[in-house]
Structures are given as C-alpha cells and as structure tokens.
Copies of this chain bind each other. A is one copy, B any other.
C-alpha cells in the first residue's frame, strides 16, 4: 500500500455525530433520565483545612424524600488515587471517598441522594458539621518551608523528580552568558461547557453501571471496583456524549461517590455539578514557579539550560507525579543543546486539586521557557526567530539524554513557514498609536504522543464485518468532540477500501469495548489510529483470503478499493465486499472479526510555532490579540479540518492562559472567580484573525505518518502572546496571566 494514493485519509469529513449535535439529538449524561432516579448533591468544605470534630446527619436523614446520606462515617475507607490509569499504577493514594479531614475549600464532606434535587439541596443544608480548623498554606514555596502546616503525613513535598542530560554545571560555567528568571504560571480551570455529571444504576443482580462524560472508562472501572470492592465484571462504566473535557474529566472526581450512593439505595442516582462546584471542587492545571537558568554564547547558541520547578498539586496528589514526569521530558525534545536539567517538585497546598489539563505540563514549561528565552534573545540583540532557527532540533536530531533519534521533528519548518505567513521579518516589531501599543511575539512548543517510555501504552480494538460489506468498530476511544473516532474510521476505510460512513462505532464502554489506556496524552491519533490500522489490517488479510478463494486469484494480486476486492492485474476480476463476506459465511462458515492490541513502539513528538500580534490599551491595561498564525508539525493530517479545529480551540485556551484566566483565591483559600461571569474565558468576539498552517512531512511510526495535535496545539500560544505584550511595552512580563491590573501596575513601575 506504500505508494497508493490515499482515498479517505487526509480528507475533510464531518465528525461522526455532527448531525446529532446540530439537531440537539446527541444524548449527554445530563439529558439522561432513569425511572425512579434519585438526585444527589455534595456538601463541600467551606474551610481550607480542618478536622471534622462532629458531623450530624440526623436532620438530613429525617427529611422526607432523602434516601441516603453518606459521610466518612458510613463509607468504605479504602485509599485510592483518582488519576489511577491501570491496574498496577504505582502512585500516592491520598484520597478517600470521604475523610475526617478536609484539605481545601471545596473538599468533599458529605453527599445526599434524594427524590428531587430540591430535597437533596435542602438536606445538604441540614447537615451539621463542626470543624476544628487547622493552619492552612496556599503557596507551594511556603508549603515547602520548615514548620509549614502538614497536609498529608510525611510533609508537603510529594516528590522530587530530576531529569538530566550532559553536564549542566560545567556547560553553564563555560557559556559566554548566563541568564536567570523566575517565572510563574497560575492554576486555571478547564471550563468545559458540560460540567461534571454522572449517573449510576445498581440493580438487584448487583450490577453497577456508571454513565459519565469521562476520558477514561477503564481507569474509572479500576477505581470504582477497588473502592466498592466489586468484581470488574459487575462494574460497567459508559461514556455517553461528552461536552468538553481537556483533561478535566480524566480523573474520577464524582463517579465513585455517585456509584456508592446507587449501591446504597439500589436506585439510579444522578449528580450534576453546577459551574461554581465544578470550578471549585474538580481539577485545575498545576500552578508553578519556574526558576530557569540558560547558558548562551555570543552567537546565540543555547549551550545549557537548568529548570527548577515547584508545582502546586493542591490538596491531593492525584496526577502530581505523572504531570511532573511528563513536563520534565518535554524540554529535552526541542533544542539541540546537549546539557539540560529539569527538577520538578510537586507540593501539597490547601488549594483546589491540580490534575490533568490539555498539555499536561507542557503549557507551563514552554510558557516559562519561551518567555525566558524571548528575554535572552532580546538581551543578545537577536531576533527571536533567528534564535529559534539557530537552536531548534533538526530532523536528524537526538534526545540528549539517550542519544536516541527524535523521529522526524519539524519545529524548524514550523518556524520558517510561520514567520513567512506572519511576515515576521517585515512587520514592525512595535507600533504606537496614542494610548495603544502594538507588538509581535512568537514562541514554539512541543508535546509527546502517548505514554511510551513512561509506562505501557496500549489500545485494543475489535472490528466486525457485516455481511453487506459494512463494519462495526469497537473502540475504547472517548471522542471528546475532536474527531478521534471519525479519524479511526478514515484509517479503517482506507485499509479496507470502504467508505468510513459505513463503519459504525461503539465507543468507550468498559463492557462493550476492548481496553484502552484512556484518552489523554495526545494518544488519540498516534496510538488509537494506529490500533485502528492494526485491526483493519488484520481484517483485511481475512477478507483478501476469502476474495482470493472466491475470485480464484492469488492473495498477493488483490487489492480492496471502493467496496470491491479487485485484481491488480485484471480489473475485470472483482467482487463486492458483500459477495466476499457472504462467501466467507456460506463457503467457509465463518464471520470475519478482528481483535488486536496495539502497543505504542515509540515516543514521537509534535511541534508547533505560534506568532501573535497584540495591541495593549495602556489606559485600561486590556490586551487584544489582533493577528495570529499557528503552524504545526503533525506528520500527516488524517482529517485537516479537525486538526485546524483543534488548533483554533487551543489558541483560544492559550490566549486565556496568557491574559484573562487564572483561579483567584482569597486569604482563606476560597476561589473567588468561581463563575463564568468572574472567570474570563476568551469569547469568540475576542479572538484574533487566525491562520493555521500544517507541516506534513510524515512520522514513520504514526498511522499513515500522522502525529497527534490535541495538546501540542495549545502549548506555544500563551508565551507567544506574553512575548508580544512584553515586546509591545518593552517590559519583560514573567507572571501569568497578564490581567489589566498587572499590566497597568507594570506600566506604572516602568514610568
């Protein structure tokens, strides 16, 4: 198939459920209703750190219509980690369904299931809790200090992860210059339009079924079967449609509690967080403090770089180790520098829990690095694009840690193509029009594809042929609106020579679909489409065997094209796929079903370069992004429309990260911007003109050369915008987000 013209891969086609979405027919969990369903509500802690001295649920229990009240007193006390991914995943288990200690404003205290939402809300208010407040700490650097309040036994340092290549100390000592910066990035929230919601049913057979928009049905099954002590066969986790996730639905946040309530009551139980609860109590992107040191020579060569990072994991560990580890790897993938070190220290504080979020460490690390290097280039009097071109890895580049090839990294192409499209060279670097100052900035970024290297990274799939030549795919993939599953059908269609439209998909259901590691880590295209390719190739072999028998032609001579098995030597010799499948049924009495596990064989990297022009209103401190170019190395776009859509959405998030978002806590640790009114995500009207360009030079281990785009797309965005603002004002901003107050303050200082 090497040099065959691709028929379905590389095409734009609407996402499988597009028609359902636009007609309002797509079933979200919030739309679902079961007979005799109860409504659940959670009681969240109003204090940042306390021991529960007394909890009295008797009034709540006595309220007519209340069917269950659960607290630490009557729930299983089995420690777990809500970000557990597979059976032997060794990560700190600091969470319980409910605990006698609360560790942040928004921590779980109790839950109620009742005949109506109104009753549940009333019951929650009837629960009497006496807290014995404990000293709290909100800043991760403070939390590391001697004498800081201890949030979990053993101290607040979750771990220290050191990753190193070459000899950083020596290289720094020999560099012409050494630059140092302290850069901070805030916690932000995913703000998926659909909040966390789950329904659990528990029937008289002892079978539990949990419906929730989530990114990891199989991981949730592990956690729920563990904390409720049930066999996995009796725990089914199903993902209905999903209204945005971005990592926020990767961890089992409310599902174990809803499952417990269903098991206690034997009734279906639904819990839907409102926006406030969602922002406060679910997960955030880790805030961090970055100490970066770079050694550079006069000619702009980056010779060494040292990162020391303190990450705020919030009140519980969840994915602290994973995010720290993932973040550490990324910086070794972009520059030719042989001497690099990354030390990450995740730290407990009494703030909302940090978890997975689009980029999983990369947005923070690249924001810090690219803001720092923009300043370095300026100090060297070097154009930042020239600095990039001098230092970025080339296609034959290697990872300095292992001297192993990167694959086919194309950040240089991204920068070159983007600079040209943006007219970087000819555009004025700064402009001033009265109170408005304009500037341009750029940044690069990268992100991995899957978990290869960190741990096993597998996706199994089953593909079943129907007798009319159409097919059903069983995929554990959770399409989160990004089109991964449709892309899988394009890959399968390509291999079987059938229209992807004729491949139906059963998605993300622990009972109906084969195992999948979950949908995160940009596994979608790279791993899942590879799994789709593998199972399709297995089915193709069986189809060709039948066709060879039917057509009396050697297998090697046959191809599958446009719904036919056809001889490549004599095009007259052909049969419809329907005839071939029915031949298998009739003559060989067999069904064609493929079942394959794909294990990722390589860690490849996606790259991007973003260019932004901003305008700062020096009177209000407001920043407007005017123009934007995003270029990404994706190997091959299986569906360019989806890739572009991903990038556009990612830029919206990136600009928000740079300028308008960021959780704000009061002195008691309470999130104050806990509504869409107060938490400013970029609106469509605030978005810049945008041009998206792709570099498609292929990546050998990718399916048809493809790499993933979901996360990498957001990585260069925030630093590109911050650098543009810094350039516009001639101020080096080092703390995100650049909200008007911060900008005005900086202008004040500048004056």
Contact surface of A with B, Cβ cutoff 8 Å: 16-17, 19-20, 22-23, 25, 31, 35, 86-88, 203-207, 222, 225, 231-234, 236, 456, 458, 460, 462, 464, 466-468, 470-472, 474, 502-504, 506, 511-512, 514-515, 578, 582, 585-586, 589-591, 593-595, 597, 599
Residues of B within 8 A of A25 (CB): 203-204
Residues of B within 8 A of A19 (CB): 203-206
Partner of A462, one of B236, B468, B595: B595
Query: In the complex, are the beta carbons of A591 and B232 less than 8 A apart?
Result: no
Bound together, the chains give a CA A72 to CA B205 distance in angstroms of 46
CB<8 Å pairs between A and B, sample of 11: A16-B205, A19-B204, A22-B204, A25-B204, A87-B467, A207-B504, A231-B470, A232-B466, A232-B470, A233-B470, A514-B593
Residues of B within 8 A of A467 (CB): 86-87, 222, 232, 515
Query: In the complex, are the beta carbons of B203 and A458 less than 8 A apart?
Result: no
Residues of B within 8 A of A236 (CB): 504
A539 to chain B, nearest CB (A): 11
Bound together, the chains give a CA A232 to CA B502 distance in angstroms of 8
Query: In the complex, are the beta carbons of B582 and A88 less than 8 A apart?
Result: yes
Query: In the complex, are the beta carbons of B591 and A205 less than 8 A apart?
Result: no
Partner of A456, one of B511, B585, B599: B585
Bound together, the chains give a CA A82 to CA B288 distance in angstroms of 67
Known: A231-B468, A233-B468. 6 other contacts (CB 8 A): A231-B502, A232-B468, A233-B472, A458-B589, A506-B511, A506-B512
Bound together, the chains give a CA A90 to CA B458 distance in angstroms of 45
Bound together, the chains give a CA A585 to CA B85 distance in angstroms of 13
Bound together, the chains give a CA A19 to CA B472 distance in angstroms of 32
Q: Which 10 A-B pairs have the closest CB atoms?
A: A233-B470, A589-B599, A460-B591, A23-B204, A232-B466, A593-B595, A19-B204, A590-B597, A233-B504, A232-B468
Query: In the complex, are the beta carbons of B234 and A468 less than 8 A apart?
Result: no
Residues of B within 8 A of A86 (CB): 467, 585
Query: In the complex, are the beta carbons of B597 and A595 less than 8 A apart?
Result: no
Copies of this chain present in the complex amount to 2
- Closest residue of B by beta carbon distance from A465: B515
Residues of B within 8 A of A460 (CB): 590-591, 593
Residues of B within 8 A of A502 (CB): 231, 233
Bound together, the chains give a CA A464 to CA B203 distance in angstroms of 23
Query: In the complex, are the beta carbons of A17 and B468 less than 8 A apart?
Result: no
Query: In the complex, are the beta carbons of A458 and B591 less than 8 A apart?
Result: yes
Bound together, the chains give a CA A207 to CA B599 distance in angstroms of 33
Bound together, the chains give a CA A233 to CA B610 distance in angstroms of 42
Bound together, the chains give a CA A228 to CA B160 distance in angstroms of 64
Bound together, the chains give a CA A511 to CA B502 distance in angstroms of 13
Partner of A203, one of B20, B87, B234, B468: B20
> Which of A467, A582, A591, A594 has the largest count of B CB atoms less than 10 A from its CB?
A591
Bound together, the chains give a CA A717 to CA B568 distance in angstroms of 62
- Closest residue of B by beta carbon distance from A512: B512
Query: In the complex, are the beta carbons of B597 and A591 less than 8 A apart?
Result: yes
Residues of B within 8 A of A589 (CB): 456, 458, 597, 599
A226 to chain B, nearest CB (A): 10
Residues of B within 8 A of A207 (CB): 504
User: Taking A233-B471, A471-B233 as contacts, is the C-beta distance between A515 and B586 under 8 angstroms?
Assistant: no
User: Taking A87-B467, A468-B225 as contacts, is the C-beta distance between A233 and B20 under 8 angstroms?
Assistant: no
Partner of A591, one of B35, B88, B468, B515: B515
- Closest residue of B by beta carbon distance from A222: B467
Bound together, the chains give a CA A594 to CA B25 distance in angstroms of 35
Bound together, the chains give a CA A22 to CA B25 distance in angstroms of 35
- Closest residue of B by beta carbon distance from A513: B464
Residues of B within 8 A of A88 (CB): 582, 586
A643 to chain B, nearest CB (A): 23
User: Taking A456-B586, A504-B234 as contacts, is the C-beta distance between A591 and B514 under 8 angstroms?
Assistant: yes
Partner of A511, one of B20, B504, B511: B504
- Closest residue of B by beta carbon distance from A459: B591
Query: In the complex, are the beta carbons of A87 and B595 less than 8 A apart?
Result: no
A654 to chain B, nearest CB (A): 33
- Closest residue of B by beta carbon distance from A594: B595
A668 to chain B, nearest CB (A): 43
Residues of B within 8 A of A17 (CB): 205
Bound together, the chains give a CA A466 to CA B222 distance in angstroms of 10
Residues of B within 8 A of A514 (CB): 464, 591, 593
Residues of B within 8 A of A590 (CB): 458, 460, 597, 599
Bound together, the chains give a CA A591 to CA B86 distance in angstroms of 13
A386 to chain B, nearest CB (A): 44
Bound together, the chains give a CA A517 to CA B331 distance in angstroms of 57
Residues of B within 8 A of A474 (CB): 512
Residues of B within 8 A of A35 (CB): 31
A584 to chain B, nearest CB (A): 9
Bound together, the chains give a CA A515 to CA B20 distance in angstroms of 28
A314 to chain B, nearest CB (A): 29
Residues of B within 8 A of A472 (CB): 233, 511-512
Residues of B within 8 A of A578 (CB): 87
Residues of B within 8 A of A205 (CB): 16-17, 19-20
Residues of B within 8 A of A512 (CB): 472, 474, 506, 512
A49 to chain B, nearest CB (A): 36
Bound together, the chains give a CA A589 to CA B460 distance in angstroms of 10
Bound together, the chains give a CA A22 to CA B205 distance in angstroms of 11
Residues of B within 8 A of A458 (CB): 585, 589-591
A526 to chain B, nearest CB (A): 15
Residues of B within 8 A of A585 (CB): 86-87, 456, 458, 515
Bound together, the chains give a CA A346 to CA B356 distance in angstroms of 69
Query: In the complex, are the beta carbons of A582 and B204 less than 8 A apart?
Result: no
Bound together, the chains give a CA A586 to CA B90 distance in angstroms of 13
Residues of B within 8 A of A464 (CB): 514
